[in-house]
Amino acid sequence: MVRHWVVAWMRAASLSLPGMALAGGLTLSSPDLAPDAMLKPAQVYQGGGCRGRNLSPALSWVGEPVGTRSFAVTVFDPDAPTGHGWWHWLAFDLPANTHALASLPGGGPLPAGGVALRNDFGEVGYGGACPPEGDKPHHYQVTLWALNVPTLGLRSDTSAETALAALRAHRLASSGITVRYGR
């Protein structure tokens, strides 16, 4: 009897731990992204010496954990020579019934209620890959976040660091695809 109580208590306690992936079933997929493959020109930035189409990747997902109330998508380059990486896309407050995003210029428009922050190019929405010429290929981490709140309560001018802290605090599960690009 005590053993069953301990197991039940541990399950209940794990539900309140921020940042804990509670379901192993969340799966992110994309016809535009192959894990560890090079990005296609469509997802490369247009500007700053880059000649892409600046289309966000088409994304779809399944297997969100029970209790998912919204989703978020981020694209981050940890290899950017800034000392803190480079944010290419931070989109959140995507309704829980959303299970796909189309490939669109600048990543928008988002589903009703969705919010996009300014990326590190200074633009709201998706900004494609554009590493410095001659750099080794950079890694681009595309992450889907299943969240336990319907909205993060953040404004579109929120900093990436504040948004990331909120995502981590409300994450039920996450899934990602890492791709590369160099020029």
Over range 14-29, report the average pLDDT: 55
The set of residues, in sequence order, having a beta carbon less than 8 Å from that of 171 and lying 6+ positions away, is: 18, 19, 20, 21, 145, 146, 147, 148
C-alpha–C-alpha distance, residues 70 and 81, integer Å: 32
Pairwise pLDDT comparison (21 vs 160), residue with the higher score: 160
- Out of 3.90.280.10, 3.30.565.10, 3.40.50.460, 3.30.70.20, the CATH code matching 19-181 is 3.90.280.10
Residue 53 tokens read as 């189409």
Question: What's the whole-number mean pLDDT along residues 72-78?
Answer: 98
Model confidence pTM above 0.95: no
Q: Looking at residue 33, what DSSP letter applies?
A: -
Q: Domain ranges in the chain?
A: 19-181
Confidence of residue 22 (pLDDT cuts 50, 70, 90): very low
